[in-house]
Structure 1
């Protein structure tokens, strides 16, 4: 297990009702209704929030790596994330697929950036060895 050397930020959320409820951050910036995947509800679900969080974090990791290596990133870089939910023995699990779009970048340089970002991204570090994560260059 990895122990934080220093806490830089703590996110806080209060959730009621589980997958058919609501979640709100302590600062009010996040205030969402929740619905189970595949239901007619109007809310989001934890898998969608995980996809959004991981992809945003991964872009941040690419920017951090690029800044340290003086690499210029394309303005229109993007990450499309998919989070699968399904059964595992005696429980449920998730799997992640992300396609990274770095238009105009040299393919080898883009792949090296993705590989380096995958080593520093907090979501990548949290999921490594726990769930299937597949990150590809689009």
Structure 2
């Protein structure tokens, strides 16, 4: 396991009640109710939070990759994320997909940016080899 040279940020949360509870960050910026995926309740779930976090991080990674190549990403860059919660062999698993929209960027250049971001995004690194994950161009 690679040790970081420098810690840039540490997220701290407190969760109670599991999938039917609540999550709050130490700085109060995150304060959400949790509900079972597809079930009753008005809270979010870990799969939605992961989809949002990976997408936001991935856009940041694309911005860095593009800047290194002297390319400005379009302001309307977006990602549609899908995170599946499934079962296998009596246990659970995740499967995830990002569908990236880079309007006005040539497909070949967009693919280079996406591939570069997938190599540098911390979320992509964390899941690589652990879950079935794909990143496609819309």
After TM superposition, the score normalised by the length of structure 2 is 0.97
Give the ranges of 4+ consecutive aligned residues of structure 1 lying more than 6 Å apart after TM superposition: none
Alpha-carbon distance in 2 for matches of 1:2, 1:123: 15
Which range moves more in the overlay, 101-110 or 82-91?
A: 82-91
Alpha-carbon distance in 1 for matches of 2:134, 2:58: 13
Counting only pairs closer than 5 Å after superposition, residues 113-128 of structure 1 correspond to structure 2 as 113-128=113-128
Alpha-carbon distance in 2 for matches of 1:46, 1:29: 17
Unaligned runs of 5+ in 1: none
Unaligned runs of 5+ in 2: none
Q: 2:68 aligns to what? A: 68
Alpha-carbon distance in 1 for matches of 2:72, 2:125: 24
When the two structures are aligned, how many residues end up with a matched partner?
Answer: 138
Q: 1:30 aligns to what? A: 30
Q: 1:94 aligns to what? A: 94
After TM superposition, the score normalised by the length of structure 1 is 0.97
Q: 2:85 aligns to what? A: 85
